[in-house]
Chains A and B, each alone.
Chain A
Amino acid sequence: MAHKILIADDEPNIVISLEFLMKKEGFVVAVAGDGEEALAKVAGFQPDLLLLDVMMPKKSGFEVCEALRADNANAALKIVMLTAKGRDTEVAKGLALGADAYVTKPFSTKDLVAKVKSMLGIV
């Protein structure tokens, strides 16, 4: 059964490219445009992995991550934080809040796909 991936980002063009990339790899993909929508889609869509942008309207990626990790139902969910701000403190903050990986924009598509696959246990 195909893994499900939720993409949460407020930049439409980045969403387009991520959606295309993940679908091409055979994942089932859903999209959220802000923090609140992301939380709602996690509950409804039940993804295996979340690609989560940090700078989003309504709720930031950090807040979303914190809220998800506070709920045991999402223990199995893998979270990959995406950010255009590459400062060390932000990487550390993301990981401390329970993110499984941290990827800086702009990213290499190959590396991102490899990382997603390894996190989902697909070799």
Chain B
Amino acid sequence: MISGWFVMLLAIGYLGLLFAVARFGDARADAGKSIITANVYALSLAVYCTSWTFYGSVGRATSGGLSFLTIYIGPTLMLLFGTVIAKMIRISKAQRITSIADFIASRYGKSQLLAGLVTVIAVIGVVPYIALQLKAVSASFDIVFGNPVDASEPWWADSTLAIAAVMAVFTILFGTRHLDATERHEGMVAAVAFESVVKLIAFLAVGLFVTYGVFGGLSDLFRKAAASPELARLFTVDASRSGSWLALIVLSALAILFLPRQFQITVVENVDESHLRRAVWLFPLYLLVINIFVFPLALGGLLHFNGGGMDADTFVLTLPMAEGAAGLALFAFIGGLSAATGMVIVETIALSTMVCNDLVMPWLLRSRWVNPSARKDLSGLLLSIRRGAITVILLLGYAYFRAAGEAYALVGIGLISFSAVAQFAPAMFGGMYWKQGNHAGAVAGLLGGFGVWLFTLLLPSFAKSGWIGKGFVEDGLFGVDTLKAQALFGLTGMDEISHCLFWSLLVNAGLYVAVSLLTKPGAVEVTQAERFVDVFRRPGDGGASARLWRGSASATDLVALLERFLGPARAQQQLAAYARTRRLDDWKRLPADADFVQFAETELSGAIGSASARVMVGSVVQEEELGLEEVLDILDEASQVRAYSRELEAKSKELEAATAELRAANDRLLELDRMKDDFVSTVTHELRTPLTSIRALSEMLYDDPRIDLNERKRFIGIIVTEAERLTRLINQILDMAKLESGRAEWTNGAVDIVAVVRESMDSVGQLFREKGVELATCLPESGPIVLADRDRLTQVMINLLSNAVKFVPAKAGRVTVAMVTAAGEVRVEVADNGPGLAADECEVIFEKFRQGGNTMTDKPQGTGLGLPISRQIVEYFGGRLWVESEPGQGARFLFTVPLPAEQDNNQDGDN
């Protein structure tokens, strides 16, 4: 057995290490080099995993199978709605929110009543949860010491009291070390992140040891478990419990937001909103990893102890100890201690802030003791109150632990706590997203929900522990059957948690909505509703909010107030920073205007909560109460201005889009203009060239009648040729223009394409004979009938044939015409054995005025429009015209014409 002293020293040593981490974090924060990174923030969220996770998940898994997972599925799902958390953080920063009680109170008109109510619910709901942590640590001590658990010792000999005391000291050191009460606790966050890592590693170490050390791996474990019918039951997801699954997922999803410690870590301690983006995946990943070995540990424990009466909640410790791995058991013990400590520290700090600001301060402020004109610096008093609250809360936890012991009320308390804080959901969500939700509604909802929770969950757990009579559970309140505590109005068939969640949230949300709709909000509430719901839409919190306050104040009074609650040093530091934002060198010259009052109240809120801050500021300024109508007018005006500016923004975006469109259109026009310009320039060139020869030669003939007769004949021949070329050119340009503009006239009819080809060959036959070029054919007797303009088709054919004869060598030239019918179209091919075309030329030749061939010797005789026109014609018929060629290999011009209809196909199918 391990020496008790050694264990004690180890535990104290570990807490000392945590404290060193916290001191380091604080020192770095003081030096302005915060160690709170996105990763640290995400890990600190794992304060969610308490000793209830560390020891209890395994216990739950032994009885409920996989249902223990619901407690982790809920938070994971909630983090998917990162925007909700982001909005909570943004609101809290803008309003200097210090706790979840402050958040709700601030939203509903900075109400002291609501702040107090939320605090009471939180304390009642959470203190037993703290007791559970103490119990877990105490139990783990006993196991490691080898003592039997015995709650009947006298209190002064109880190690649990010592644990509670040590934790109280640590919490005071962690949470209220600073003299100013507004600072965040960066050291505490760092320590919590650190302990999150420790408990994760400890749990994984035990998991690995049991799975791979004691058993032969996961498959071995599962195989052995499956062999036992008792254990095999745990593998199945029981459909009849799906109601419970749903309730547990909803509960834990709400708990991750509304448990005081989660609100503290997630919202209050957040230093940078962008850290949330890391947390939304890293924290669920953490939950996944820490749960991997829960089920194997549960199975391993059951198999190993073979139902030998060992408490499943202690498997994490007892399994390594039973296997003689003392070191690992100690590590597991540290992990459990870590989990409990982290939870207790953060939860207690959060609760002590709430108790101090929302229960004690309002009472103090009313008493004469802190009369505004009396005592000076109160910041020390604030810290004392918090330290006192921490001590009292831990003592309450201890007292509950002593009283409840092994009773049912303690074992089931985790979920009972979750159900209590779930009551904040309607007021919180409504407050963030529904402007009509008001103070009366929130109070009614909270009271109703809390009442139902008390009646259906907390009191029955007391009854089961035998502290109070069971009559209201078994026979109904006052003996009325429909008022049975866990079967209200005859609703049976649900487990107690689902039953409570259903009724309490139904009553809570119902009252909240109904009362909100039936009552009128106060002026402050309307202002706060606007600030909360529209937090993302009011970046500077500018004009309207300053105008929402009217009255007179003295700067001296306000400064004095700040110095009293923040301490003089910090107050002056904040005042100087504020003066700089208003471009003043000296804060003593700050005017006592609405904006300054607003600043003072916000600063004060950070120290004593919004409700108390409002009371304090109210005591030194003479505020003229604004009527509700007036507030609504101002807010309405502000939202109109916002709507108007949104409209302007939309208009300017529209204008920008229109400008961009116009610019694009203009660019297109400029491009078209340039193309037209090029075209005209090219046409001019093509027309002027023949005209140059005609003019020069005819001028010379005219000027000199003595020119030799042969020369004359030659010149006149040239003039005739060039005049013909000019005529052809003009005709083709006009033809092209008509085709392009769609004004060409078409006389379409059924055309025998073979007949067209033969006719075309006849009409150019002379050219071939003159140059000695062979014209071969491979044509059917009568070809397919197509729907086309006969003359146009002939024009294409003649163009291709005359091109071919132009480019083939005289005497050795050979041109072949072929025709194929396939795939619904007829294809005509004109192949030559000329010089062929390079790859880039194959497309160029279909552009206007671009011709193949380059040198003077083979200067082509043509206009450069034949092929573009032919292509236009073929495409008009629905076909294609292209060329296949390689240099030196001749050229094959091909065009297709689609066959018109089915019956024609059949008729010509044999061809």
Task: Spell out A's residues near B (CB within 8 Å).
Answer: 10-14, 16-18, 20-21, 24, 33-34, 55, 57-58, 84-87, 104-110
Question: Chain A interface: which of B629-637, B664-672, B698-706, B769-777?
Answer: B698-706
Contact A84 B688 (CB under 8 A): yes
Contact A21 B854 (CB under 8 A): no
Sample of 27 A–B contacts (CB below 8 Å): A10-B859, A11-B689, A12-B859, A13-B690, A13-B693, A14-B689, A16-B697, A17-B696, A17-B700, A17-B715, A17-B718, A18-B696, A20-B711, A21-B696, A33-B856, A33-B857, A34-B856, A57-B856, A84-B684, A84-B685, A105-B691, A106-B692, A106-B694, A107-B696, A108-B699, A109-B703, A110-B699
Interface residues of chain A: helix, strand, loop or mixed (majority): loop
CB nearest to B711 among chain A residues: A20
Given contacts A11-B689, A17-B692, A20-B711, 10 further A-B contacts (CB under 8 A): A12-B859, A13-B693, A20-B715, A58-B855, A84-B686, A85-B685, A105-B688, A106-B696, A109-B696, A110-B703
B651, CB-defined interface residue at 8 Å: no
Nearest-CB distance from A63 to chain B (Å)? 15
Q: Residue A106 contacts which of B688, B703, B857 (CB distance < 8 angstroms)?
A: B688
Nearest-CB distance from B699 to chain A (Å)? 4
Chain B contacts for A12, CB-based, 8 A: 856, 859
Nearest-CB distance from A94 to chain B (Å)? 15
Determine the distance from Cα of A107 to Cα of B697 in the docked complex, in whole angstroms.
11
Supposing A13-B693, A14-B692, A87-B681 touch, asked if A20 and B854 sit within 8 A by C-beta, the answer is: no
CB proximity to A under 8 Å, residues B643-695: 681, 684-686, 688-695
Chain B contacts for A86, CB-based, 8 A: 684, 688
Chain A contacts for B689, CB-based, 8 A: 11, 14, 84, 105
Determine the distance from Cα of A105 to Cα of B810 in the docked complex, in whole angstroms.
33
Determine the distance from Cα of A21 to Cα of B695 in the docked complex, in whole angstroms.
12
Chain B contacts for A106, CB-based, 8 A: 688, 691-692, 694-696
Contact B699 A109 (CB under 8 A): yes
Contact A33 B855 (CB under 8 A): yes
CB nearest to B682 among chain A residues: A85
CB nearest to B694 among chain A residues: A106
B825, CB-defined interface residue at 8 Å: no
Nearest-CB distance from B692 to chain A (Å)? 4
Chain B contacts for A17, CB-based, 8 A: 692-693, 696-697, 700, 715, 718
B722, CB-defined interface residue at 8 Å: yes
Chain A contacts for B693, CB-based, 8 A: 11, 13-14, 16-17
Determine the distance from Cα of A3 to Cα of B771 in the docked complex, in whole angstroms.
41
Contact B692 A107 (CB under 8 A): yes
Nearest-CB distance from B849 to chain A (Å)? 11
Closest 6 CB pairs of A and B: A33-B856, A84-B688, A17-B696, A13-B693, A106-B692, A105-B692
Contact B696 A85 (CB under 8 A): no
Nearest-CB distance from B519 to chain A (Å)? 83
Contact B855 A34 (CB under 8 A): yes
Chain A contacts for B722, CB-based, 8 A: 13
Chain A contacts for B857, CB-based, 8 A: 33
Nearest-CB distance from B853 to chain A (Å)? 9
Determine the distance from Cα of A5 to Cα of B696 in the docked complex, in whole angstroms.
18
Residue of B691, B692, B855, B857 most packed against chain A (CB within 10 A):
B692
Residue of A11, A34, A58, A87 most packed against chain B (CB within 10 A):
A11
Determine the distance from Cα of A27 to Cα of B859 in the docked complex, in whole angstroms.
27
Contact A24 B704 (CB under 8 A): yes
Determine the distance from Cα of A120 to Cα of B688 in the docked complex, in whole angstroms.
27
